[in-house]
Structure 1
């Protein structure tokens, strides 16, 4: 058994780009672009036999705890999805009244900083001590504690609102975590969840980051958009908003960008990149 290779990913990206060009609106331009993709695919397949780098693994898989411990130092790099996730999340957070807010899976505190700046009392929870260390440095007035999404270290109805950003995708099942968020939020409160869009995970996206002179990744689990809604409804929440920001060329950068930039952008740009849910706690 061998790990997926950079060459395999590159061929897959060329194929996805070709699929998206099959029935493009500009038929003449699409025909030219399809020919380019076919030619480049043949070139990539020929290169597989002579370039060891294309036969190398995409990255080393790390467990959740080890992965985020090693990623903490470069996590604010920023992550490629931050540019499409942060604007709609922050727009919704700005409408929240000032109160006590849980930042679940807070990471290095990128959203906690904004919450504290708007006058909220912030409680950050994360399973990574290394991430929490950086969050505490950013938000000295916040309270940051170690804990998991399915067993939050808070009593019932402890906060006015909760945020969970780009984290549920690491769980095999989103329902227990959504139920926990509902448990700790007071009646009348809000819950905001952002996550890697299920469509990208179905296409093989993983949480990749550089380590030394190579790459590593933490596994993302495949959910459906409806899994989030079903989990929220089961927890007694009410859907008050949902958005699906699309990938920009910047957010669509992958390990194939340097090898086949045109195919990479054609394959991914415009696809839904993030899903953002806002729920009310009756």
Structure 2
């Protein structure tokens, strides 16, 4: 199969494959991760035996898990344009959790000129402006940028690629790039560009999550489209070294790093939630069927990374 490649224009390569969303394969995969951890001594023989019983059950394919359906590739621009209508709404717990870490990394910095790279709906820019920063937001999604402009009309909002910024060297005292570099196959070009526009003594703050697909170098974000089909935004699962090496090469000094780890992913007391007929399998609903395996697979795994660098000078 070919690999999804994101074009500079934001269009998805037409050769990018559909991704089969098979609920049985997904859950058997998590059972396998749980079994590997049991083999390493994290769980005992009874836990291991129960996982094998559940795998046998899964292979008989419970109808309530839903059908295996393909997810079609979607460009990042189109994906976030579609997502804009609900992005700031309730139910996206990741955003509230992530912004807290970013605030901690920025809270001791003096106000100045801030670049919000991949600003989306302006959720970070809004807080930065409240702290006295003058904010420039850059994003490729027109609809996301419209939300940001509506919240903060007095700040500057630009359509563009943050790997090729129309800004002079040393233009900003702070650069924030939150949950955006996962959509780039290599974060190095963006980090190098951030270092270029960062003023001496300024700070670069980056946040990103690790892939929910444990062990994979890919991190597709699968979503339901308005027409009921499944689409995915291409993503990559970057190691810490993928961020650290280009930053060090650009002369940045690492001043803080946080790598929070996962707790339980699902409540073991929940009743299993069936997939509605014809609907795309939702992994969060699938987790309710085998909570012991799901929680064992993710427990203690790094879930996100938060980094801050300082530019010398």
Distance 1:205 1:40, change over 3 A: farther
Work out the CA distance in 1 between the residues paired with 2:103 and 2:213. Answer: 23
2:11 aligns with none
Distance 1:251 1:208, change over 3 A: farther
- TM-score, scaled relative to structure 2: 0.80
2:221 is equivalent to residue 207 of structure 1: yes
Quick check: 1:164–1:192 contact (8 Å CA) kept in 2? Answer: yes
Distance 1:228 1:201, change over 3 A: farther
Select between 157-166 and 73-82 the one with higher mean Cα deviation.
73-82
Instruction: Give the Å deviation of 1:88.
Output: 1.8
Select between 90-99 and 221-230 the one with higher mean Cα deviation.
221-230
Work out the CA distance in 1 between the residues paired with 2:187 and 2:266. Answer: 24
Instruction: Give the Å deviation of 1:249.
Output: 3.4
Match of 1:70 among 77, 82, 106: 82
Runs of 4+ that moved beyond 6 A: none
Provide Cα deviations, 1:50-83, integer angstroms capped at 9, x if missing partner. 67824223x3321111111111112224545335
Instruction: Give the Å deviation of 1:100.
Output: 1.1
Gaps of 5+ in 1: none
2:295 is equivalent to residue 265 of structure 1: yes
1:221 aligns with 236
Distance 1:242 1:218, change over 3 A: same
Quick check: 2:266–2:288 contact (8 Å CA) kept in 1? Answer: no
Output aligned runs, 1:177-188, within 5 Å: 177-188=190-201
**RMSD value over aligned CA atoms?**
2.5
Select between 3-12 and 101-110 the one with higher mean Cα deviation.
3-12
More helix by share: 1
1:10 aligns with 27
Match of 1:174 among 164, 172, 187: 187
2:51 aligns with 37
Output aligned runs, 1:153-168, within 5 Å: 153-168=166-181
Work out the CA distance in 1 between the residues paired with 2:116 and 2:122. Answer: 8
Q: Secondary structure at the match of 1:73?
A: coil
Instruction: Give the Å deviation of 1:214.
Output: 4.3
Distance 1:61 1:19, change over 3 A: same
Distance 1:265 1:80, change over 3 A: farther
1:113 aligns with 126
2:163 is equivalent to residue 147 of structure 1: no
Distance 1:197 1:209, change over 3 A: same
2:114 is equivalent to residue 98 of structure 1: no
Quick check: 2:265–2:298 contact (8 Å CA) kept in 1? Answer: no
Work out the CA distance in 2 between the residues paired with 1:117 and 1:277. Answer: 22
Instruction: Give the Å deviation of 1:110.
Output: 1.4
Work out the CA distance in 1 between the residues paired with 2:220 and 2:61. Answer: 25
Distance 1:83 1:240, change over 3 A: same
Instruction: Give the Å deviation of 1:201.
Output: 6.7
Q: Secondary structure at the match of 1:81?
A: helix
Quick check: 1:7–1:54 contact (8 Å CA) kept in 2? Answer: no
Quick check: 1:256–1:264 contact (8 Å CA) kept in 2? Answer: no
Work out the CA distance in 1 between the residues paired with 2:93 and 2:75. Answer: 21
2:308 aligns with 278
Aligned residues, how many? 277
Q: Secondary structure at the match of 1:154?
A: coil
2:138 aligns with 125
Q: Secondary structure at the match of 1:101?
A: strand
Work out the CA distance in 2 between the residues paired with 1:140 and 1:201. Answer: 41
Work out the CA distance in 2 between the residues paired with 1:37 and 1:135. Answer: 47
Work out the CA distance in 2 between the residues paired with 1:199 and 1:229. Answer: 22
Quick check: 2:210–2:237 contact (8 Å CA) kept in 1? Answer: no
